[in-house]
């Protein structure tokens, strides 16, 4: 399995400083943190069957975990639709549009990495990666209670509790340690349909160890977005983003992923590093110094 990499030259365009810094949820019929009335809920299909033409690709991406991936597909098509996490029109396209699209990203993730899935929603791509790659440690970070409830139940039903945990909160809170999980850091941050690159970089880079990578699943306009926001990503401590195509020769179309690396730590404007105590300053007499 191979992937293609395209370097996109930076643009002189500056990001919009007035862009709101609110986390954009994954696509869903509604964004309220309340379940819809029972009479308004769509009916879910009885069963989601892996299309025959996708079987070879699914076997290549999931291997002996294909049955587990099928169980997750069914969960998305039933509870996911009923809870408003997946649109009813998406149910017939769960395999090609969602599961295979997300699973292809596994090829650019190193063994035994800690993966933080920001704005996880229904678990895309975080749960898919946990199914395809049992060696990964995956943290699903999601601010909405309705979605975290679904994720917690899915993790239990799929038997993934050993390698997957769910954290309710925003990316900024996870990085600052203000969720009930304390400070969270990882090797990889994934995000799918969360936010433009400039805002995503501000949320994702603080979650990474130095040298860690952001993998943002994007659409056909990825190159344009890279050109527009490269300067902003670099100001925040990231490398110049590049565009990968994952799953080349396995799925059609391949998955478009924008990658950038946390190269340096950038403190927010106005933030100052903690000062050393007077006793620890070089040349200052310590309390017990004679």
Question: Among 157, 253, 142, which Cα is nearest to 191's?
Answer: 142
- For residue 234, give the 3-state DSSP assignment: helix
pLDDT of residue 267: 73
More confident residue, 45 or 262: 262
Q: Measure the CA–CA gap between 268 and 276, rounded to whole angstroms.
A: 20
Decide: pTM greater than 0.85.
Answer: no
Tokens of 249: 């020769």
Label residue 268 by pLDDT band (50, 70, 90): low
pLDDT of residue 285: 45
From 40-44, 197-201, 222-226, the region with the lowest mean pLDDT: 40-44
Exposure pattern of 95-108 as b/e (b: 16+ CB <10 Å)?
bbebbbbbbbbbbb
From 10-19, 141-150, 160-169, 209-218, the region with the lowest mean pLDDT: 10-19
Question: Among 170, 124, 122, 118, which Cα is nearest to 143's?
Answer: 170
Residue 98 DSSP label: I
| 138 pLDDT higher than 90 | yes
For 173-266, list the strands marked E by DSSP: 186-192, 208-218, 242-248, 255-261
pLDDT of residue 142: 97
Q: Measure the CA–CA gap between 105 and 113, rounded to whole angstroms.
A: 13
Q: Which helix (H) or strand (E) holds 114?
A: strand 114-118
Averaged pLDDT for residues 218-234: 95
pLDDT of residue 269: 58
Crossing angle between the packed helical segments 55-62 and 66-75, to the nearest 10 degrees: 110
pLDDT of residue 18: 33
| 288 pLDDT higher than 70 | no
pLDDT of residue 90: 87
Q: Measure the CA–CA gap between 87 and 77, rounded to whole angstroms.
A: 9
Q: Measure the CA–CA gap between 119 and 98, rounded to whole angstroms.
A: 15
Question: Among 238, 206, 242, which Cα is nearest to 225's?
Answer: 242
Give the torsion sign (CA, 60, 208, 181, 76).
Answer: negative
Tell me the per-residue pLDDT of 231-254, one tens digit each, with 9 for 90 and over: 999 999 999 999 999 999 999 999
pLDDT of residue 276: 47
CB 212 within 8 A of CB 262: yes
Question: Among 189, 203, 173, 185, which Cα is nearest to 260's?
Answer: 189
Tell me the per-residue pLDDT of 152-209, one tens digit each, with 9 for 90 and over: 999 999 999 999 999 999 999 999 999 989 999 999 999 998 999 999 999 999 999 9
CB 102 within 8 A of CB 124: yes
Q: Which helix (H) or strand (E) holds 167?
A: strand 164-168
């Amino acid at each position: 399995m191979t992937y293609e990499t395209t370097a996109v030259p930076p643009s002189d365009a500056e990001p919009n400083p007035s862009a709101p810094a609110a986390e954009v949820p994954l696509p869903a019929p509604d964004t309220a943190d309340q379940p819809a009335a029972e009479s308004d809920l769509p009916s879910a299909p009885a069963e989601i069957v892996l299309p025959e033409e996708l079987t070879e690709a699914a076997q290549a991406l999931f291997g002996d975990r294909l049955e587990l991936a099928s169980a997750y597909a069914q969960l998305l098509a039933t509870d996911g639709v009923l809870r408003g996490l997946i649109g009813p029109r998406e149910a017939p396209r769960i395999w090609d549009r969602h599961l295979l699209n997300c699973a292809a990203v596994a090829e650019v993730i190193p063994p035994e990495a800690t993966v933080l899935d920001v704005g996880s929603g229904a678990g895309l791509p975080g749960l898919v990666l946990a199914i395809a790659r049992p060696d990964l440690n995956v943290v699903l970070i999601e601010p909405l209670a309705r979605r975290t409830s679904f994720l917690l139940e899915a993790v239990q039903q799929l038997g993934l509790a050993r390698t997957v945990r769910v954290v309710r909160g925003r990316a900024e809170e996870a990085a600052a340690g203000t969720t009930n999980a304390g400070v969270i850091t990882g090797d990889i941050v994934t995000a799918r349909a969360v936010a433009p690159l400039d805002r995503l970089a501000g949320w994702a880079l603080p979650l990474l160890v130095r040298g860690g990578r952001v993998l943002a699943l994007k659409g056909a306009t990825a190159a344009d977005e890279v050109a527009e926001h490269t300067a902003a990503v670099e100001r925040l401590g990231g490398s110049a983003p590049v565009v990968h195509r994952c799953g080349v020769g396995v799925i059609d179309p391949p998955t478009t992923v924008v990658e950038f690396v946390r190269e340096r730590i950038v403190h927010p404007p106005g933030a100052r590093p903690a000062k050393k105590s007077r006793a620890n300053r070089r040349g200052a007499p310590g309390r017990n110094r004679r």
